[in-house]
Chain A
């Protein structure tokens, strides 16, 4: 019995060691782990840099915070355009980008792309409510298209640049409309069609400044916010009467 446990322990240790060795094949980090959105924010770039050991290709997947997202379709009814059909998808990343040093199809085989959700076609988007299979396909495509129109899903994969054969860097670009929340940046080291190492780094994008405080206040203390909004308007209205009393 003891011997058996010992064997398991040795096996686990070996696994952990090999894992550590694998992890050392790939080291990556961001120039910044926090993006602050302030007034006049027009988008930003964060640089991802790293090093690999033993050669290979790099694929980076950037996933924004996940939310339930509703896709609606307008139809013309009696001359007026109105929303007639909709499908809600659960856990949709609000931002999605893929970067690689070569076309992704050439680096990663289809089954691994599917498994790790690499590429728009492999995003797992499940309906939050019951929907017809035909609708799901159509609205899934529309969801991706609309996210691309809004600049939140990359139309084309970005590039990872190698400096020599060990060091690499990539620029992660975020538009002005970037949603706030916690982003996950997954870095995959691929060798001969196999993912030999992977690393996930978080990136937090948040609003700061007066606008963020107001937004926070409105969301978290809604009743008080409403009362303050009414009070401010009332004071302004009363002040106006006072100012113009003698005019």
Chain B
């Protein structure tokens, strides 16, 4: 159980894409103009990643190492086709807005990266925990970016007005430059927080000097 939590935590907190691992950047910029799109993209990635981690983990003993990448790619492309058709059938409006970026999950490095780095080496249960960790980590990242862009760009969140009536919406937040600027600012703020907590833990260490290894004069 503790092992499963550790697998989940790695993607959810320690290596959250796209903030702490440079993966899945394109959709994070392209489909985050409103919270509902960011959330849908996160769920689409969850469905594909879960499926691909399970299948790759199940067949890991029978796939020869030389052809594993093409095999994984075909598995992922098949799953993406399924997700694409399901979305087109159930939520056509969202499917149209996400557009190109649903099929582009095929080349999203998170999916292939986890198949190669984790699912091909571990059992099904741990691979499921890993898929949930990375996909939900990616989802919270997308939710954060899209919340910032929707609140500033439209004054709403999930379509409900949250900003006071006098607030003039920053239209630029909904355009491509706004995506880059919002993302750049969020990454900088996260870095500030991280650096601060790191220097604090370093200060604690200085206050209680480690005497196990005596200093050599």
* Same assembly: no
